[in-house]
């Protein structure tokens, strides 16, 4: 395969690899998680009285998964160390790119799904979210045509709120939050 | 044979009854649009549309979802050809030759090739499904808990090995998925695992909210972070498929169809790997190898045929083993369960006609896809130009509705958000998502069969390794696992070279 398709192939890893430092931190988090799962599994009841053998204990399967996650995370950590994960300054810079846009999208999504939905009428919550999302992300385009863009955003927002209620609730009888 | 043809005919008859087939037109169109828009995947499309099918009869619902699946995999090629951005991961291989063709002013021809290849690929795969699924289903009837445990393990291992480039992270993702499936009440004693006193957690993490989060919310975040999509690359020439392309590359079409169907049938691999493998195989044997990557008709045909043949292929293990062959097939399987259908080995006995209904649905979806492939070129160009700032909030709203609708719990929206954020972070850390999804879907199967097997053998684990089919499955799983270790790969390579040298010397 050419260089281009090797780089893009999912068999070869589709994007630049993460830094060994990031892998090391991930491995530590996963190890803690795996051990936590094992500890919680060990504390589950075994129901020996009911089953007679304890072979149906609820903790067996998650304990197995937790053990495997912990072991694999140790391997990930060892590999990261071998690749220089302990050297300072190895944290990936690419992950920090566009962090601002990402944070705005995440915060708006959380406000919509966790705060607005369930407290306001669904169409209103949806319209507010779509308008805020579109307006905030289109704001940096500059003052030229901003009023028109904001009006378009408002129209899209109201249209989305109305269309979702119409299609899901009225047409397909799906209950909305 | 006659029985099968009769059931296939009945399958078509069922689809045409009462105008059910009309649903195929809007659903395939929605699928193509979802696939064409970068950032929206087939998995997300099937997950979101599942919500709309709740009130439908089960056969109509499955037809709608199959049409979305088939349409989305095909639709991805539009943006691959015109924007050099794969609309879905499955279309990544199509950018290599599709976009160069568009740059040469042959965008229409490229789309014609894509339509032809995709149409023939799905047709080939659907016929394979009709022939293979009943046989595989019958064979799988002999599977007991031991074998089903290994089927689940094999799925996780093969998906982890091949779906992301880094097997270690693939395995971790798979086991994280298996863990997610253990949250909530277990089957034997109704003990609420990892519930921490919460009645919501005791009910378990819903499959659909988790999948909508991992594929929908994470995609929205990913899309908003990356660079904006730029303008369409080319003017459109004639889009009519040329019979000469089919006749000239018939070998490529058959080869790619077979590869695509086979890879589809392997648990958890999916359309992107089918497309890449078909592309690589075509390049290896092509007489026009030098054209690959520069606008090769054969290369585009191979990629499109392979990815589209993978769709029916991925449904084969869903129907016969209750193990999905790809991420969208996993959601399709979840939708089948929601609609009260029980895919798995018993399907061939309890309702063999359903297999042929699925074949009929695939062929109908394929025909509708061909229709849109010929008439829906220019309108799709406008769709591709919708700015993400206006599209993504609407997608997020649909995700929220999709997560809520199945059980009407606000808790599911929280699950979707959590899964989306975790999924996004895992993607950033290059953990593949296919094994994670497969783990979530197969978790219950593995859980029940491991414990059932242990109870049946009174705690003895030897039947897991000594029963004939179990032993084969265990050997293949362990071999796949071993071969993914770099040191073993290097040793294997050295051993093979040494053997070849010795054979040459002896010869």
> How many inter-chain contacts (A to B, CB under 8 Å) are there?
215
Whether residue A154 lies inside any domain: the answer is yes
On chain B, the residues whose CB falls within 8 A of the CB of A167 are 52
Residues 6+ apart with CB under 8 A from B343: B318, B319, B322, B333, B336, B337
The answer to whether residue A135 is domain-embedded is yes
The residue segments making up the domain with residue A139 are 98-171
* Nearest-by-Cβ selection for B454 from A55, A58, A156: A55
Is A125 contained in some domain?
yes
Residues in chain B within 8 Å Cβ distance of A69: 172, 175-176, 179
* pLDDT surpasses 50 at A3: no
In angstroms, the separation between the Cα of residue B404 and the nearest Cα of chain A is: 7
A15 and A90 belong to one structural domain = yes
Q: Are A39 and A88 in the same domain?
A: yes
- Output the pLDDT for position B1: 65
Residues A9 and A76 in one domain: yes
Asked if residue A143 belongs to a domain, the reply is yes
How many whole angstroms separate alpha carbon B280 and alpha carbon B252?
11
Which of B193, B447, B454 is the closest to A44 by Cβ? B193
Residue of A4, A66, A105 lying closest to B224 (CB–CB): A105
User: Do A177 and B166 make contact, defined as CB atoms within 8 angstroms?
Assistant: no
**How many Å lie between the alpha carbon of A84 and the closest alpha carbon of chain B?**
17
In a domain, A177, yes or no: no
Give the total number of structural domains in chain A.
Answer: 2
User: Across the interface, do B404 and A137 touch by the CB < 8 Å criterion?
Assistant: no
A60 contacts B451? CB cut-off 8 A: yes
Q: CB count, 10 Å around CB of A111? A: 15
Please report, for residues A14, A27, B465, the alpha-carbon distance to residue A79 in angstroms, rounded to integers and kept in the order given. Answer: 20, 10, 31
Residues of B in contact with A113 (CB under 8 A): 396, 400, 413-414, 416-417
- Chain B, window 54-93: residues with a beta carbon less than 8 angstroms from a chain A beta carbon: 54-56, 89, 92-93
At B138, phi and psi to the nearest 5?
A: -65, -40
A133–B392 CB contact, under 8 Å: yes
Q: Which residues on adjacent β-strands are paired with residue B184?
A: B193
Q: How many other C-beta atoms are found inside a 10 Å radius of the C-beta of residue B370?
A: 20
Do A8 and B92 lie within an 8 Å CB cutoff?
yes
Which of A94, A127, A160 is the C-terminal boundary of a domain?
Answer: A94
Region A82-87: mean pLDDT is 84
Nearest CA in chain A to B177: A65
Nearest CA in chain A to B217: A109
- Beta-carbon separation of B191 and A47 below 8 A: yes
Any domain includes A153: yes
Residues A110 and A66 in one domain: no
Q: Is the pLDDT of residue A10 over 50?
A: no
Q: What 3-state DSSP class applies to B276?
A: helix
B-chain residues within 8 Å CB-CB of A10? 89, 92, 163-165, 272-273, 276, 432
How many Cα atoms are found within 13 Å in the side-chain-facing hemisphere of A13?
14
A81 in the same domain as A150:
no
Decide which of A41, A74, A94 is a domain's last residue.
A94
**What is the residue-wise DSSP string for A41-74?**
HHTS---HHHHSSSTT-TTHHHHHHHHHHHHHHH
Question: What average pLDDT values come out for chain B (507 residues) when binned by 10 residues?
Answer: 76 77 92 84 88 87 95 90 79 86 84 92 94 87 90 88 81 95 90 92 89 86 72 58 81 94 86 89 87 89 94 94 90 90 83 89 94 81 80 90 85 93 91 87 89 87 92 92 81 82 79
Interface test with A, best of B30, B394, B483 (most A CBs within 10 A): B394
Whole-angstrom distance, CA of residue A102 vs CA of residue B351: 48
Where is the domain boundary, A51, A77, A94? A94
Which residue stretches of B203-296 are H helix?
207-211, 218-225, 243-248, 250-265, 271-285
Is the CB of B168 less than 8 angstroms away from the CB of A76? Answer: yes
Q: Which residue of A has its CA nearest to B280?
A: A1
Q: B 271-310 residues with CB below 8 A of A?
A: 272-273, 276, 279-280, 283, 292-293
Over residues A97-142, the pLDDT tens digits come to: 578 888 999 999 999 999 999 899 999 999 999 999 999 999 888 8
Average pLDDT score over chain A: 84
Are A88 and A102 within one domain?
Answer: no
Residue A36: what pLDDT? 97
For residue B47, list chain A residues with Cβ-Cβ distance below 8 A: none
Domain assignment present for A151 = yes
Which DSSP helix (H) or strand (E) runs through B186? Answer: none
pLDDT tens, position by position, A32-56: 999 999 999 999 998 888 777 778 8
Contact A69 B52 (CB under 8 A): no
Contact state of A26 with B54 under an 8 Å Cβ cutoff: no
| Residues on chain A touching B413 (C-beta within 8 angstroms) | 113-114, 117-118, 177
- A99 exposure class (CB count in 10 Å sphere: 0-12, 13-18, 19+): exposed
> Which of A47, A66, A99 is facing B189, going by the closest CB pair?
A47
The verdict on A128 and A142 lying in the same domain is: yes
Q: Do the Cβ atoms of A73 and B172 come within 8 Å?
A: yes
CB burial string B482-504: b at 16+ within 10 A, e below: eebeeeeeeeeeeeeeeeeeeee
Contact A130 B55 (CB under 8 A): no
B438: contact with A, CB 8 A cutoff: no
Q: How far apart are CA A115 and CA A102, in angstroms?
A: 19
Both A76 and A62 in one domain: the answer is yes
Residue A166 lies in a domain: yes
What does the alpha-carbon distance between residue A54 and residue A47 come to, in Å, rounded to a whole number?
Answer: 6
Q: What is the pLDDT of residue A16?
A: 62
Q: Are A84 and A142 part of one and the same domain?
A: no
Q: Do B421 and A106 touch (CB under 8 A)?
A: yes
End-to-end CA distance of chain A: 50
Contact assignment for B52 to A173 by CB distance below 8 Å: no
């Amino acid at each position: 395969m050419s260089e281009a398709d090797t780089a893009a192939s999912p068999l070869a890893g589709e994007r630049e690899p993460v830094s060994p430092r990031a892998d090391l931190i991930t491995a530590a988090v996963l190890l803690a998680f795996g051990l936590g799962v094992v500890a919680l599994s060990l504390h589950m009841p075994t129901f020996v009285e009911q089953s007679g053998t304890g072979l149906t204990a609820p903790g067996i399967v998650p304990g197995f998964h937790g053990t495997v996650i912990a072991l694999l995370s140790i391997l990930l950590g060892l590999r990261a160390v071998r690749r220089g994960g302990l050297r300072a300054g190895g944290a990936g810079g690419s992950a920090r790119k566009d962090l601002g846009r990402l944070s705005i999208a995440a915060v708006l999504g959380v406000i919509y799904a966790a705060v607005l939905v369930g407290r306001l009428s669904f169409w209103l919550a949806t319209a507010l979210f779509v308008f805020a999302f579109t307006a905030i992300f289109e704001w940096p385009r500059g003052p030229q045509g901003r009023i028109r863009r904001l009006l378009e955003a408002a129209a899209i927002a109201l249209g989305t709120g109305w269309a979702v209620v119409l299609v899901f609730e009225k047409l397909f009888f799906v209950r909305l939050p | 044979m006659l029985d099968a043809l009769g059931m296939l005919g009945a399958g078509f008859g069922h689809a045409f009854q009462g105008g059910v087939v009309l649903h195929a037109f809007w659903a395939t169109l929605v699928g193509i649009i979802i696939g064409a828009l970068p950032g929206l995947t087939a998995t997300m499309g099937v997950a979101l549309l599942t919500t709309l099918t709740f009130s439908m009869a089960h056969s109509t619902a499955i037809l709608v979802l199959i049409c979305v699946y088939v349409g989305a995999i095909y639709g991805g090629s539009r943006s691959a050809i015109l924007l050099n951005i794969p609309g879905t991961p499955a279309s990544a291989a199509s950018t290599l030759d599709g976009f160069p063709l568009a740059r040469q002013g042959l965008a229409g021809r490229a789309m014609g090739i894509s339509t032809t290849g995709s149409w023939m690929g799905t047709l080939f795969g659907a016929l394979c499904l009709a022939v293979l699924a009943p046989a595989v289903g019958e064979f799988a009837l002999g599977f007991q808990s031991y074998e089903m445990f290994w089927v689940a393990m094999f799925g996780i291992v093969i998906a982890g090995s091949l779906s992301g480039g880094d097997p270690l992270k693939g395995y971790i993702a798979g086991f994280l998925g298996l863990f997610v499936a253990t949250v909530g009440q277990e089957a034997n004693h109704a003990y609420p695992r990892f519930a921490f006193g919460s009645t919501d957690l005791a009910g378990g993490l819903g499959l659909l909210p988790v999948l909508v989060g991992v594929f929908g919310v994470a995609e929205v975040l990913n899309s908003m972070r990356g660079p904006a999509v730029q303008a369409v690359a080319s003017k459109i020439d004639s889009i009519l498929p040329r019979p000469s392309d089919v006749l000239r590359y018939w070998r490529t079409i058959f080869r790619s169809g077979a590869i695509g169907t086979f890879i589809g049938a392997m648990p958890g691999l999916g359309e992107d790997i089918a497309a890449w493998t078909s592309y690589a195989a075509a390049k290896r044997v092509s007489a026009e190898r030098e054209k690959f990557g520069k606008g090769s008709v054969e290369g585009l045909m191979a990629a499109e045929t392979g990815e589209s043949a993978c769709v029916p292929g991925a449904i084969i293990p869903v129907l016969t083993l209750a193990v999905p062959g790809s991420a969208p097939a996993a959601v399709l399987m979840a939708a089948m369960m929601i609609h009260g259908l029980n895919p798995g080995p018993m399907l061939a006995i309890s309702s063999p006609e359903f297999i042929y209904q699925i074949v009929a649905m695939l062929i109908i979806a394929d025909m509708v896809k061909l229709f849109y492939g010929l008439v829906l070129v220019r309108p799709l160009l406008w769709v591709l130009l919708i700015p993400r700032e206006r599209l993504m909030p609407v997608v997020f709203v649909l995700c929220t509705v999709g997560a809520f609708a199945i059980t009407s719990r606000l808790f599911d929206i929280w699950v979707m958000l959590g899964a989306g954020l975790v999924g996004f972070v895992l993607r950033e850390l290059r953990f593949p998502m296919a094994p994670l999804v497969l783990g979530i879907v197969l978790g219950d199967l593995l859980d029940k069969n491991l414990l059932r097997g242990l109870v049946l053998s009174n705690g003895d684990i030897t039947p897991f390794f000594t029963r004939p089919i179990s032993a084969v499955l265990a050997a293949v799983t362990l071999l796949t696992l071993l071969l993914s270790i770099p040191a073993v790969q290097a040793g294997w390579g050295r051993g093979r070279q040494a053997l070849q040298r010795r054979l040459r010397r002896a010869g």
